[in-house]
Amino acid sequence: MSKFFCPLPWIHRFVQTTGVKVCCSSTMQLPVSIGEFDKSPALDSIKDTIQSGQVPQSCQLCIDNELRGLTSTRQDALRDWPEYRIHAPDQVEYLDLRYNNLCNFACRTCEPSYSSIIERELENNISLKKYFNPINKLDYSNIVKDLRPYYTSLKRLNLTGGEPLLIKENLIILEELIAAGKTDIDLLITTNVSTVNPKMLELIKQFNNVHWTLSIDGVGATAEYIRFGSRWPIIVKNIKSILELKHSVGINTTVSAYSVLDISTLVNWFKSLKEEYPQRPFEIMFHAVQWPLHLAPQVTPYPDRACTELEQAIRILKTIENNPAYEVDNLNNLHKILKNSIMQYTNTFFEFTHQLDQLRQQDFYQTFNLKRI
C-alpha cells in the first residue's frame, strides 16, 4: 500500500485562467477544457504514479511543505475527506473555479492570472513583467456549459477569481445548481470582501452549507498596502455583514515578507472580532507564500521584527478558543524557518517593492514603521 496518497487527482479539478490542474499546488497544468483534462494521458500518469506508491513530480510542493512542517494541500484534502485516505472514487466531487481574473484588487502577492488590475499594470509597465510568469488566458466563454456534466457528482464548489462576487458567470452557475436541486453541496466563496453583490447573496442564501473564506493579510494601513485597492472600513463592514448570515467563516492570511511584519496585529484583531461574534463558526488560517520566492516570509529583510511578530501572534492565537490547533503549529514552524533561514532574494524583494511603491504611490517603510535600509 502506498505511503503517499492524495485523493485530489480523482475527485478535484482546479480551473484557472490559463488551464486546468488537479489542485492549486500541482505544477502540471494543461491549457485545455475541464472535459479534455479528464481524458488526458497526463492525468492518468499522475493517478498511476500515486497508485504505484510513488510521488508524482508535479506533487513535490506538498512533500516539501510537509518536510518543513507547513500545511500542504494534500494534508488539507486528507483532513477534509478522511474517508479517502487510501482510495478515492473516480468522479469529480470538488470544483475550484478561478477561470476569470476579473478583480478590483492588485494584491502584492498575487499575479495577473488572478487579477485583471495586475494584468493592466504589466501592460502599462513593462519593467514589472520580469517578476511574473507570462500568462496565456484561455477562452472560458463556454464554462457554464462545460461544467454541467459535473453537477450530478458535485459535493463541493469553491468560487474564487479574480473576485468571484463580480463574475457574472458565477451567477448563472449558482442559478443552475439551484434549479438542479443541488443546494445541499458545500458552497465555498473565497472573496476579498470588497463588495457584496445583493443578487448573488440571495442565491448563496439558498444553499444549505455555505463557507466564506475572507482573504485578509493585515489590518488598517497594512491591509491597504498589501491588498492594493482595499478600503479597510469597507472591508470591516462587509465582514460583519457576512458574519450576520450565520454561515461558516474563515479568515485566510497569506503570510508573506510583508504581512509577517504585522501579523500580531491581525491575530489580535481577529480575536476581538471573534469575541464580538462568539456563536459563529469563525476561524483564522495561515498559508505561507511559496512563490514568488522574493515574497516568501523568510525573505524579509527584517527577520528580528518578523520573529517577534510571530511570537506575539502565537501567544495571542493560543488564547483563542475553537481555532484549529494546527494553525499554531503552522506559525511555530514558520518561526523556526525564519530563525534558521539564510537571507536570499532580498535584493529582488527591495527592487520589486520599490517599483510597486513608485507606481502605486505607497511607502513600505512608512506603512510598517521601519527604518530605511
Cβ–Cβ under 8 Å, residues 299 and 349: yes
Could you report how far apart the first and last alpha carbons of the chain are, in Å? Answer: 54
Residues 85 and 114 in one domain: no
- Looking at residue 227, what is its pLDDT? 97
Distance CA 167, CA 364 (A): 32
pLDDT of res. 130: 94
Does a structural domain hold residue 1? no
Could you list the mean pLDDT of each consecutive 10-residue stretch along the chain, which spans 373 residues? 82 96 94 95 95 91 87 90 92 96 96 95 94 90 95 96 94 97 96 92 95 97 97 97 93 97 98 92 93 93 95 97 91 91 85 96 96 82
Residue finishing a domain among 90, 117, 137: 90
Handedness of CA 117, 122, 125, 131 (dihedral sign): positive
Co-location of 249 and 219 in the same domain: yes
Q: Do 29 and 123 belong together in one domain?
A: no
If asked whether residues 225 and 78 sit together in one domain, one would say no
Residues 137, 180, single domain; the answer is: yes
Q: What pLDDT, on a 0 to 100 scale, did the predictor assign at position 55?
A: 93
Q: Residue 2 falls within a domain, yes or no?
A: no
The answer as to whether 114 is a domain residue is yes
The total domain count for the chain is 2
302 and 252: one domain?
A: yes
Last residue of a domain, one of 72, 90, 108: 90
Together in a domain, 247 and 330: yes
Instruction: Give tens-digit pLDDT for 109-139.
Output: 999 999 999 999 999 999 999 999 888 899 9
**pLDDT attached to residue 1:** 38
3-state secondary structure the chain: CCCCCCCHHHHEEEEECCEEECCCCCCCCECCCHHHHHCCHHHHHHHHHHHCCCCCHHHHHHHHHHHCCCCCHHHHHHHHCHHHCCCCCCCCCEEEEECCCCCCCEECCCCCCCCHHHHHHHHHCHHHHHHCCCCCCCCCCCHHHHHHHHCCCCCEEEECCCCHHHCHHHHHHHHHHHHCCCCCCEEEEEECCCCCCHHHHHHHCCCCEEEEEEECCCCCHHHHHHEECCCHHHHHHHHHHHHCCCCEEEEEEEECCCHHHCHHHHHHHHHHHHHHCCCCCEEEEEEECCCCHHHCHHHCCCHHHHHHHHHHHHHHHHCCCCCCHHHHHHHHHHHHHHHHCCCCCHHHHHHHHHHHHHHHCCCHHHHHCCCCC
Q: Is there a single domain that holds both residue 104 and residue 147?
A: yes
Same structural domain, 100 and 54: no
Last residue of a domain, one of 49, 66, 90: 90
Instruction: Please check whether residue 279 lies inside any domain of the structure.
Output: yes
| Region of residue 304 (left: phi > 0; alpha: psi -120 to 50; beta: else) | alpha
3 is a domain residue: no
pLDDT digits (tens, 9 = 90+) for 280-312: 899 999 999 988 999 999 999 999 999 999 999
CA distance 162 to 110: 10
| Residue 118 burial (CB count, 10 A) | 23
Does the model's pTM come out above 0.85? yes
In a domain, 359, yes or no: yes
198 and 162, same structural domain? yes
In a domain, 334, yes or no: yes
CATH number of the domain at 278, please. 3.20.20
Asked whether residue 41 falls in the same domain as residue 135, the answer is no
Q: Are residues 39 and 130 in the same domain?
A: no
The pLDDT of residue 372 is 85
Domain that holds residue 37: 8-15+24-90
